[in-house]
Amino acid sequence: MLKRLLTVGAAALATLVSGCGDGPATVAGGWRSPATWSSMIYATKDGPLLVEIHGDPFGLPPARFRVAVAEAMTNAIFGRPSTFTTDPQQAPQPRYRVVLAFNAPDNTDPRDLCRGQVATLAQTGDRITVHGAFCEDATLLASIRGWVAKVQGADDERFRHLINQLTRELFGTAS
């Protein structure tokens, strides 16, 4: 019951925040594993963390968009030098990964992202949304949602700010 209440509260907060300006804005998911921070430390101690990216709100070549997102995520976590890769061969711990779904339906369940059940929409007009999950295999460790409007492309500073903020808040801090 508490989990359901938190989920409804997070959705209501996202709706309230979405009415304010053009973003970027993020809202943390309703539950975060106490192991989120330590799992991220373990997964990045020997190299980059894997990131899976679904959807592309800009219609760029897939490799170009994925690289732009991974670069925007790099070193976004306060107090922890971190890099991200879209290549599973470069990730020393590929069972840990971030899954990002751009312009996914509003009712996307972050647990589905960890299970590989990702639905995305091609375009949603002026506003870009992203659902994010930090996963250990098919298990959800943390989730977040974000949005931004009126951006020109993956190199737009406001889009990069959204990805940076989303990454930082997905993992939280050591405290």
Longest alpha-carbon distance in the chain: 43
Q: Which two tokens stand for residue 65?
A: 């968009």
- Print the domain residue range for 162: 2-171
**Are 55 and 63 a contacting pair, CB within 8 Å?**
no
pTM recorded for the entire structure: 0.84
Would you state the pLDDT for residue 5?
A: 41
Number of domains in the chain: 1
Q: What is the mean pLDDT of residues 2-21?
A: 46
**Are 150 and 22 a contacting pair, CB within 8 Å?**
yes
Average per-residue pLDDT for the chain = 86
